[in-house]
Chain A
Amino acid sequence: MSEGLLGKLAAKKSFKAFFAGMENILQSSLCLKDATGKVLIGHDEKVPCQYPVEINRETSGWVCGSENASVVADLLSFWLNQEYEKKALGQELLEKYREITAYFNITEQLAGNLEYKEIARFLIEETQRLIKVGDVLIIMQEDTGQEILASSRPAGDAKNIFKVSRSVIYSVIANVKPEVINDFPADQRYIAGNIRLNSVMCAPLTIKDKVLGVMLVSSEQPADYTAGDLKLLSSLAYVAAAAIENARLFARLKETVEDLKIKTEELRKAGQVRAQFGMIFISVVMMVCLYTLSIILLDNFQLGYTERYVISRSVEMAYLGMNLILVYRSRMPLSEFGLTLKNARQSVVESLAVSAVLILALVMVKLHLIKTVPALSGAAIIAWNKVNIDFYTYILSAPLQEFLCRGILQGSIQRFLLGPLNWLWAIILTSSLFGVFHIHESMALGILAIVGGVIWGAMYVRHQNLIGASINHFILGNGLVLLGLWDVIINGIS
């Protein structure tokens, strides 16, 4: 630090004026030289005496002149020693100021940032700024071992540094005490590796009695780390530990809040499903009552086909209207009720395949009946005379029935029930109800409706849309009518 002080002083105008003044006072010419003999002020003439200018007991230059030039040399020594001390204090002041600035920056950064890895990176930068020599690693102690959280070097180098210094890291974690080793290769804990470290400092990251990890400063060049450096690293490690722990807690808190949001949403949906199911349940009970009432009325008044048709369709329309209101009020997407084109192609193909197989089976049944039942002997396979208005309106009523039974009822029951077999229970329950609604026609139709309900329910579960179930329902229903089997199911063979 003392080097150059004399030169800087000599370069100042005020000093040159002072020097000239001294020459006047002493009535003799003076020459100022630096330690190497280079003339700084004056002329290198042959002078009788030269006196050393000392800074911190080391010769920094010479004052040459007459005998009384020693006064100037002493004065300069005193002056430069004062300057030297001032510089030393200034240096210390600057170091402390840098530390304060670093803490200020860290505090400011921590106040506005709770990102775990970003904090670690920032702490590494600040540590490097304060402890000028070396690389910095933050190593966390996890359940599975040590993990490098952040490093001033690329990942590969950081791993090598960790490998070479791992014994020291283990020791710092175990003893919860910082360590400085300036001649690391001479230490028995040194482990030779792909990198040669000459000096290391390591401080634990602690929160109360818990060790979170360590901060490691290492240098490939010999570094003279001081007790002050170790103290600084330890205090930074305390700040780092608190910041990292805060960031971890914050991250955990964020996760918990996210979980809570999900749970709240699940709870809200569960409540919605429960409310929806309650409404569906009410509508089903009302439908059963209305249906039973209308059957009794139709029987009592012995109404004709047209009146029966109008009344039964009206009941269905009332039920449909009620359910449409429920769907609207549920605020759920229509896809939740099977009104979607998702898997449309697959459902059409599969539905047509199943329909073909079942129609073929019905034709076989019809042929068998023609052969074995005398009343049907000679009858045509296709009974065109059985085609009535129902045949044509079935293109609307089949999808509507599917919408009510599968889309609304079965879907709601499935959503309401828990467990892996909720879909199966939903199919059984819905098919049973579907059968009940048909049983007033005949027991055989009731049973057939249950079977149909199971097939269409399974299709709905598989395809998640009503397309396949509606097509199959339409083909099978009208197939029964065309083959004249509908009458057989309703009235039996007479």
Chain B
Amino acid sequence: MNIKIKAEVDKQMPKVLIVDDEPHIRILLEQTLEELEDEGIELLAAGNGEDALQTIREERPQLVFLDIMMPKMNGFEVCHIVKNELGLKDTYIVMLTAKGQEFDKQKGAEAGADIYMTKPFNPDEIVQKVREVLG
């Protein structure tokens, strides 16, 4: 009985995936979200687009912070596959990139991204966004 309940809790445990090819940005985001980890949110990380897709398929995170410029598969492609091919419309995708041009924002929106945040990001805004999305 207890094992079953634990499994359900695990199943319900909100997951946040951080996708960035730069390790220091991943560490930075993990550190930023550490306080949420203490509150029961599981943090996942991926260093490229392919790994990100695999993690999304297996772990089904509710929220993904997605970098654009990455090796193997860029953020736009990952976003497009998640939202359209995998049909995970409920997965909230935050495009997080150094690019701040209107063209990229438009491209991100076309790929299905829910919001577009630029680097350097404000750590407090990131935490606020996660709280907002995960309730």
Contact = CB atoms under 8 A, between A and B. Distances in A.
B37 A8 contact: yes
A129 B120 contact: no
Interface in B65-84: none
B24 interface: yes
Interface string A99-137: 011001100000000000000000000000100000000
Interface of A is mostly: helix
Given A4-B38, A8-B37, A93-B24, A105 B122 contact: yes
B2 to A, nearest CB: 13
Nearest to B124: A129
Contact of A97 (B38, B42, B120): B120
Contact of A101 (B24, B38, B123): B123
A93 B122 contact: no
A368 to B, nearest CB: 97
Given A4-B38, A8-B37, A93 B123 contact: no
B31 interface: yes
B62 interface: no
Nearest to B31: A90
A91 interface: yes
A97 B123 contact: yes
B32 A94 contact: yes
Contacts of B124: 129
Nearest to B24: A93
A304 to B, nearest CB: 91
B120 A93 contact: no
Contacts of A87: 31, 34
Q: Which residue of A91, A93, A100, A104 has the most chain B CB atoms within 10 A of its CB atom?
A: A93
Contacts of A129: 124
Given A90-B30, A90-B31, A91-B31, A98 B123 contact: yes
Interface residues of A, number: 17
Contacts of B34: 87
B27 A97 contact: no
A97 B27 CA distance: 12
B31 A93 contact: yes
A104 B122 CA distance: 10
Contacts of A8: 37
Given A4-B38, A87-B31, A94 B123 contact: yes
B28 A100 contact: no
Contacts of A100: 120
Nearest to A102: B122
Nearest to A91: B31
Given A90-B27, A93-B24, A97-B28, A104 B120 contact: yes
Nearest to B58: A13
B28 A94 contact: yes
Nearest to A97: B28
A12 to B, nearest CB: 9
A94 B28 CA distance: 6
A339 interface: no
Nearest to B32: A94
B52 to A, nearest CB: 17
Nearest to B121: A101
A263 to B, nearest CB: 45
Nearest to A98: B123
Interface of B: 24, 27-28, 30-32, 34, 37-38, 42, 120-124
Given A87-B34, A94-B31, 17 more contacts: A4-B38, A11-B42, A86-B27, A89-B27, A90-B27, A90-B28, A90-B30, A90-B31, A91-B31, A93-B27, A94-B28, A94-B123, A97-B120, A98-B123, A100-B120, A101-B121, A105-B122
29 contacts: A4-B38, A8-B37, A11-B42, A87-B31, A87-B34, A90-B27, A90-B28, A90-B30, A90-B31, A91-B31, A93-B24, A93-B27, A93-B28, A93-B31, A94-B28, A94-B31, A94-B32, A94-B123, A97-B120, A97-B123, A98-B123, A100-B120, A101-B120, A101-B121, A101-B122, A101-B123, A104-B120, A105-B122, A129-B124
Interface of A: 4, 8, 11, 86-87, 89-91, 93-94, 97-98, 100-101, 104-105, 129
- Closest 7 CB pairs between A and B? A90-B31, A94-B31, A90-B27, A101-B120, A101-B122, A93-B28, A104-B120
